[in-house]
Structure 1
Amino acid sequence: MNRSDIVITGVGVVSSIGLGREAFTQSLLNADSGVIELVDSTVGDRNATARYKFVEGQSGDTEQQSQIQIGAPITDFDPKLFVKPRKALKVMCREIQTSFAASQMAIEDAGLTSLLPAEPTDQAKKSGRIAVDRIGTVFGSEMLYGDPEELADAFAACMTEAGEIDRSKFGNAAMRSITPLWMLKYLPNMPACHVGIAVNSHGPNNTLTVGDVSGPNAVLESCGYLRRGIADIMVAAAAGSRMNTTRTMFTEDQPLTDASDPVERSSRPHAKDAKGIVRGEGAACVILETAESASAGNRKPIAKVLGMASRFIPSAAFAEGQFTSSSEENAGRGSAAAIDAAIQAALSDAGLTAGDIGLVVGHGMGDPIIDAQEAKAIEKALPGVPVTLPIGLLGHTGAATGMMGLTAAVVAAQRGTAPPVSHASDCPDTLKVVPTSTPLAKPNVIALSHTSHGSATAVIVSAT
């Protein structure tokens, strides 16, 4: 089977800039940002809508208010509209809910709703539904963090009369005070599990937890199943968050940025003055099928997959075992060599050259060190190719980040339009960052994703 025999028939998105393919596409093409100020400086408040304000400093210069917290939360998501049976919500954390919803959207977008849940082969032949062993699920995931309040009673039970914490008491205290189903809410493989159960999939099922590249790598693995003929349809998705309160307590190896004026333009990947990332959350899903399967079901593909590759060349920091959020040039995060290798391998896989690419969907996130590594790779492998940067609208969405970028590539290819970057004029001249929505000169779009440690993926899609 050729790569071009694999098509994408459905897309589902739960993001800060819209729910569903159409809303996501419109926001992307209009450069509508999901970055806002979080109410009362509460990073985990996902209903935050407060306006960012400025105060005058003594010198007359404008200064940011103290304790300003920004993020790109999903503010209009109701899991009850997507999760059935609703009792399943009891064992679904935020990321599982969003991934399940994105999958349901993608399934509906592909026109598969009436064909699921799948049935045994003999029954499927009679009913026209999908056979249970011909559909699979592969998801990108990450460490899922619980809310601190869920452990509050257990921590309180560890308090001694002297006001200190006796850690030896935590095990027994947790066993008594935490619901027995607690762990099921936070297992990284549960998103793929819940969706697999919902569609009655008996085909391939796996979960990948490899940071920002988790989603694209799930697509790579799904395409492998399709090529080997052990499935006809694959549900590939990823969900992630950097908004969870517990998650924000951990030290990160990437710096956070301050609020800008206006606040919705605070996420500034590849900008010359970029200082760090903006936290975000989201989930995205694509339905991958063989061209034969889509044709047999009269499902019109949104895009086709032309080539892909995954490479690992350790970053300088990873090779030395150093992890820091420093913005010094020698901080060593990211690997231009890995990004370049992934681009070259994906082009070779697709039988294309750099001149055949109409758009690069970059993974630039606002971390000046990692962005510099990506810029170096793009300048070398894809010189002069237009670049768009969806993280500027979405913030960094953890394990969903790469899949969000791939989804942006799919809709850009489908619309034949390069989404604009509002701060394009502030980016280096060596990168051809798209300032306004522009028709694609070539139909092929490459989506890049990579990690601070040195993993990189590249996926090339094109309109059908």
Structure 2
Amino acid sequence: MPRSNVVITGLGVVSSIGIGGDAFFDGLLQKRSGITSLAKRTDGCAVPSSSDSLTGHWIGGPVVDFEPKQYVRPRKSLKVMCREIQTAFAASHLAIEQSGLNAVLPLSDTGSLKPADVGTVFGSEMFYGSPVEMEDAIKASVTEQGEFDPAMFGGAAMKKVTPLWMLKHLPNMPACHVGISINAQGPNNTLVLGDVSGMAAVVESISCLERGTAKMMIAGATGTRINTTRMNYRADLPLAAVADPVALSSRPHDPESPGVVGGEAAAALILERREDAEQREAVALARIASYASCFVASGGMREGQRSSKSDPQLRGSAEAMKRSMEIALSDAGIESSQVGLVVSHGMGDPVIDLAERTALAEVAPNTPVVATIASLGHSGAASGMVDLVAGALALVKRQIPPTVQWNAANAQIGFRDAPEAMSSNHVLCLSHTSEGNAMAMVLESQ
């Protein structure tokens, strides 16, 4: 029997190829790429100088047309929101709008949907902030000999860093801000689990709905790999090379790809039990038919190291991916032949992508595949939730989107080069981490 009777009644996304579900999916259908030089970014983070050559460090998938003032209310909240919180807030309110909730907001005890009925769970990650925010404190910690003294930093930070700094960068703040903005007083939680954070947030939201602790859940995720401070840490995944054109530099499942392009994104889903959605006459976009999570330690995890080296099985776990997909399909009561699309977590890392291809070859060898990271770059904790949005929209639009490819002949997986009609009622979404976590989720059309 299917493990879930929860449906998606709204979705929102902020991405480098489109803001909002329709714009995002149109971008996928048109094989639009958001990968570009970071010189074009508009978020105030690091950009290459005029003398810097364009290397893998200086490319990414920035959301260049995002205007937070268009989405964040009240606007004074922006002073305690870093970029990831802003995009999460925007994605959530796009989902809220699509679900038809605006008419009952803010929630009240006299309304049809009460504050305690609605909860919020977000997948998140460390929000690093900008080095500029620490500049004055660091300067004040330099000795007369011109050396940085860590012992001086605590006192300097107390005087030189704004007291609101911590509130801007706590990983649990997206869920808090979204809940506060609509007066939602139901379950509120944040999960920090790397690339599977978004799917994990959906699973916890389903649990809240099935246990009756909420009637509606806002499940979201936000992340970035192109924040200035985050860009200084590159040891976990290999770095991509710049392709010609630059827009094709993110190359999932291309065996010749040297590494991963960073990006940024946020996405959110409105989740309800089917009977609650029907009672308020909401449109169900898709049902979450089943899900599964599995952990089998990667080689690097077993050896206690994080590395961007290309040693086989160092990152990712084909076995965990295989098991999670098999269990999800079994719990949904379907065979792999009934899956019309796999939304891949391929990212351009030759080691992790090989693990995913190995798993897919055993579970769903002939199924069409799309990799959103080819268009957006790797958006960290947001990536899995973005893939769920892509899977839901594929069912709604009845379209299999193509995948941006640098060299289609290199791909060893079921990418499509042009949109195709979707005849199946099921999509399989896969997300996984370097350490060996894997989650699979089956979506069903309504």
Shared fold by TM > 0.5? Answer: yes
- Give CA-to-partner distance per residue, 1:193-244, whole Å, 9 cap, x none: 1111111112111100000000011001111111122211110000001111
Distance change in 2, residues 1:66/1:3 (3 Å):
closer
Matched, 1:278 2:261: yes
Which letter maps to 2:159? R
Number of aligned residue pairs: give it. 444
- Letter paired with 2:192: T
2:10–2:285 contact (8 Å) kept in structure 1: yes
Tell me: CA distance 1:68–1:246, structure 2 relative to 1, closer, same or farther (3 Å).
closer
Does the aligned pair in 2 maintain the 1:48–1:75 contact within 8 Å? no
In 1: Cα distance, 2:48 partner to 2:140 partner = 36
Q: CA deviation at 1:369?
A: 0.3
Paired amino acid for 1:88: S
Alignment of 1:18-167 (within 5 A): 18-39=18-39, 69-120=58-109, 123-124=110-111, 128=112, 130-167=113-150
Does 1:404 find its partner at 2:394? no
Aligned counterparts of 1:218 and 1:8: Cα–Cα separation in 2: 14
Residue of structure 1 equivalent to 2:166:
183
Aligned to 1:326: 309
| Inter-partner Cα distance in structure 1 for 2:434 and 2:54 | 31
- For 2:324, the equivalent position in structure 1 comes to 342
The structure 1 residue matched to 2:396, chosen from 408, 414, 426, is: 414
The one-letter amino acid of 1:341's match is R
C-alpha distance in 1 between matches for 2:132 and 2:48:
23
Distance 1:49 1:18, change over 3 A: farther
Distance 1:441 1:105 in 2: 28
Contact in 2 for aligned 1:427/1:433 (Cα 8 Å): no
Could you tell me the TM-score, scaled by structure 2's length?
0.95
CA deviation after TM superposition for structure 1 residue 252, in Å: 2.7
| Offset of residue 446 of structure 1 | 0.6
Match of 2:5 in 1: 5
CA–CA distance in 2 between the matches of 1:408 and 1:67?
26
Matches of 2:184 and 2:411, distance apart in 1 = 47
**Contact residue 416 and residue 463 of structure 1 kept, 8 A:** no
- How far the C-alpha of 1:395 sits from its partner, in A, is 0.2
Q: How many angstroms apart in 2 are the aligned matches of 1:154 and 1:445? A: 50
Q: 1:346 to 1:427 in 2, by over 3 A?
A: farther
Corresponding residue for 2:294? 311
- 8 Å contact from structure 1 (residues 69, 259) kept in 2: no
- Give the distance between the partners of 1:167 and 1:50, measured in 2 at CA: 30
Stretch moving more, 77-86 or 419-428:
419-428
Aligned residue number for residue 434 of structure 2: 452
TM-score scaled by structure 1?
A: 0.92
Taking the aligned partners of 1:452 and 1:3, their CA distance within structure 2 comes to 27
Partner Cα distance (1:79, 1:36) in 2: 21
Instruction: Give the letter for the 1:181 counterpart.
Output: L
Q: Deviations over 1:81-103 (max 9, x none)?
A: 11111111111000000000100
Correspondence for 2:14: 14
AA in 1 matched with 2:438:
A
Q: C-alpha deviations, 1:137-187, integer Å up to 9, x for none? A: 000000001101111010001111111111110000000111111101011
Give me the whole-angstrom Cα distance separating, in 2, the residues matched to 1:168 and 1:144.
Answer: 24
Deviation for aligned residue 1:272: 2.3
Q: Which residue of 2 aligns with 1:297?
A: 280
Change (3 A) 1:163 1:419: same
Identify the residue that residue 379 of structure 1 maps to in structure 2.
361
Closer/same/farther in 2, CA of residues 237 and 50 from structure 1, 3 Å limit:
farther
- 5+ residue gaps, structure 2, are none
- Classify the secondary structure of the residue corresponding to 2:262: coil
Task: Give the Å deviation of 1:38.
Answer: 1.8
Counterpart CA distance in 1 for 2:255 and 2:63 is 28
**What code does the residue aligned with 1:388 have?**
V
Assess, with a 3 A threshold, how the Cα gap between structure 1 residues 148 and 312 changes in structure 2: closer, same or farther. same
Between the two proteins, what is the percent identity of the paired residues? 47
RMSD over aligned Cα, in angstroms? 2.2
Structure 1 residues 43 and 164, CA gap change in structure 2 (3 angstroms): farther
> Per-residue displacement from partner, 1:322-346 (whole Å, max 9, x unpaired)?
211012335x100001111110111
